[in-house]
Amino acid sequence: MSRKLMDIWVGFFVVIGFSALLFLALRVGNAASANLGETYTLKAKFDNIGGLKVRGPVKSAGVVVGRIAAISLDPDAYEAVVTMRVNARYHFPRDTYASILTSGLLGEQYVGLDVGGDERMLKAGESFSRTQSAVVLEKLIGQFMLNKASEGAPNNK
């Protein structure tokens, strides 16, 4: 086999190998959509973040508007501090409610933003003042059992 022909076949092999990688990156992965464009940072403090993860989505009215950049624990208040990068196109009023919600019954957890009516908007680096923590199933069951017990107590007398 001539060297020229071999070069052509190997070149063909390399080209389809790289186009497979490109297909994986753009069509299978999220290399294209992970880029939110210009962003700014917002923070929120929660008593409990449940199973929230870094890079999880931030949604408003179900639309992804940002990603979670970092999660840390405030050493003084023992609260979780969630830092989010939000697309610079979107601005949220100061009284926006940030809550940790779950998509579906067993889906991933995300930060949902319920927009308030304040005229003034949150600026970069500011925090949501009103937050709601993740629902922890064990606590919910514990509360339910407690309610049942206190309901049942008067009947026993």
Site residues, other proteins (CB under 8 A): 3, 6-7, 9-10, 12-14, 16-18, 20-21, 23-25, 27-31, 33-34, 55, 57
What the block records as the tokens of 150 is 């206190």
The answer to whether the CB of 92 falls within 8 A of the CB of 71 is no
In this structure, the dihedral spanned by the alpha carbons of residues 95, 41, 86 and 110, taken in order and rounded to 10 degrees, is -70
Q: What are phi and psi of 87, to 5 degrees?
A: -55, 135
Cβ of residue 24: shortest distance to other proteins, in angstroms? 5
- Whole-number minimum distance, CB 138 to other proteins, in Å? 22
Q: Are 131 and 112 a contacting pair, CB within 8 Å?
A: no
Assess contact for 102 and 16: CB atoms under 8 A.
Answer: no
Nearer to other proteins, 21 or 63 (CB): 21
In the complex, least distance from residue 4 CB atom to other proteins, rounded to whole angstroms? 10
Which lies closer to other proteins via its Cβ, residue 20 or residue 88? 20
Query: Within 10 A of 58 (CB to CB), how many other CB atoms are there?
Result: 25
Mapping DSSP to helix (H, G, I), strand (E, B) and coil, where does residue 26 land?
helix
Find the shortest distance in angstroms from Cβ 84 to other proteins. Answer: 17
Nearer to other proteins, 70 or 124 (CB): 70
Residue reference for tokens 């962003």: 39
Least distance from C-beta 80 to other proteins, angstroms?
Answer: 18
CB-nearer residue toward other proteins: 16 or 145: 16
Nearer to other proteins, 27 or 120 (CB): 27
